[in-house]
Amino acid sequence: MSETAAPGPAPVPSSGTVHWIGAGLSTGGGLAALCAAADRVRLWHRTEERAGRALAGLGLTGRAEPRAYTPRALAAELAPGDVVVSMLPAPEHAELLAACVRGRAHFACSSYVSDAVLDQLPAATAAGVVVLTEAGLDPGIDHLFAHGLIARARAEIGADTAAEVSLTSYCGGVPAVPNDFRYRFSWAPAGVLNALRSPARYIEAGAETTAPRPWEVTRPHVVDGEPFEVYPNRDSVPFVAQYGLPPAWKPQTFVRGTLRLSGWLDAWQPVFAELREGDDRRIAQLAQELATRYPTTDADRDRVILAVTLDVQAAGGRTWSGRYLLDMEGDAEESAMARCVSRTLAVGVRGILRDALRPGLHRAAETPERSEEWLAELAGEGIDFTLRTDG
């Protein structure tokens, strides 16, 4: 990747040390990649013993140092220019970032930017701290695909040409061998349930639309002849600007959402009934029940599908369409989800280690040029995807 630091506050020079916090389902080959790129790597987990077992499972014994994580223990070992990589749930990122600002260490995660993180950006920037976010699968690779498609369409159609566009971005982690539940937990069940409880805002038929219960607008979606089910999630509308959609292009459809196996909507009806009626306490209890009922075992194999499609209908009848597709199965060495999330995050962290990013907020990519560089690195990391265009 050939990015260069922009003018502005100078970043705290990299120390070459990486602190990887957490060893859950999304920790995979990215940690190994950083063991090769960094001078020193520490894996922080609930206990030092569990951290050691996680390193052994990844074949990294002796290449990273196991640590028992507490905020105080991390702060005691944090030095200026270190990089903290958080694999913890998003609500815990603000505390970690605060520790990074105090210690003048850089911060990276794969999660969406939260308000609590945004509140700390002025202090982080002034301290020379790089804050890398949205650098996983979704969000992350989906951003790269969208930037790439829009750049290609702009080159063919022209940014000043009036056009109507449809952009859909659907991502899902599913069981490679379908089960009765039509799902495999690839992250905390509580997070899955609470995401379903959050309203979704998106553009449909040219107008902003909100679904209070996203699963209630689930619809069929076909990818290469295979039927799936999809529904919108979170707030898609701000990404019209984040992806740089030209002002002359009017979005008729703009949806970032979740992809599930066909039959998921029926299989999850008992869960939806609980989501409609349950309070926070009951939903937390339900998450524990589902984790027990549908455990993820070492024998399970997951599958990740990410399909990002852009269709442009320009004035005068000219059309352009393109699609990126990532369809990957996990293996005995690494789940597909861990591969996509952790290796994408490692690409960004390597940029921090090279002192290539300016202080302040970054996402997986903010420009088409950076997107192409990230995708080239990911292809070299074993992340396979295809691009099809027509027009």
Active site residues: 138
Quickly list DSSP for 222-274: EETTEEEEEEE-SB-THHHHHTT--TTEEEEEEEEEEEEETTHHHHTHHHHHH
**Alpha carbon distance 84, 271 (integer Å):** 36
CA 162 to chain centre: 32
Pairing of strands 130-132, 106-109: parallel
Write out the two tokens for 188.
């905390």
Name the pairing type of β-strands 200-204 and 207-211: antiparallel
Strand boundaries in the chain, DSSP class E? 17-21, 40-45, 65-68, 83-86, 106-109, 130-132, 163-175, 200-204, 207-211, 219-223, 226-232, 249-261, 302-314, 319-329, 360-362, 386-390
Contact 296, 184 (CB under 8 A): yes
